[in-house]
Structure 1
Amino acid sequence: MAFFATIWPIWLWRNSMVYNGKIFDHIQLFETIKIRLGSWCKAQRPTVAISLNDCIHGILRNHLGSSLVIFSKAIGVVDPVLAETIAIKEALKIFYASK
């Protein structure tokens, strides 16, 4: 669910940029993703906290599929959707810091 809740706003934002000349704003896009993820999660099921080995892991790749960055961050025991959201946020922070 987190994947689709992330991809859908990105797709809509891309269309707005291409067809309506909207300017890219990563902060506004991230906030839109968080809102959509939260609303989809509430609609599907109540929150259940589980352990995810107390950390998140991620890999940033380029358009050729080559690994650019591998990251890990301790987050403690959290809801799986929150863990996915934190991983996306960390990946976006790393990506924008590298520019």
Structure 2
Amino acid sequence: MFAYAESVELRLDGAETQVRRPKTGRPGRRAFVSGKRRQNTIKTTTFSDGQGRLLHSGAERPGRMHDRIAVRTEGIAEQFRTRPGVRAKVDSGYLGLA
């Protein structure tokens, strides 16, 4: 995907999807409660091109995980470091990500 990205401007964003509340007693149950939406959610990191076409949808993470941490966990931040010619527009959820 990053080889293709040399010629386009990427847009990177984390999307939250509401899910049913995990069963009582399940380990990590609180991890699904989003601090932003105050609901049980999962978060997916997505890439699109300048025209809004979906290029990549990453792994699903618990809703409590911050966008910036999800990008580091999935190894996407390392891909940007190794390919300095690739640029992406991001929102304020990625502040501090070099």
TM over 0.5: no
Higher share in helix? 1
User: Which of the pair has the greater relative contact order for Cα pairs under 8 Å at 6+ separation?
Assistant: 2
**TM superposition score normalised by structure 1:** 0.29
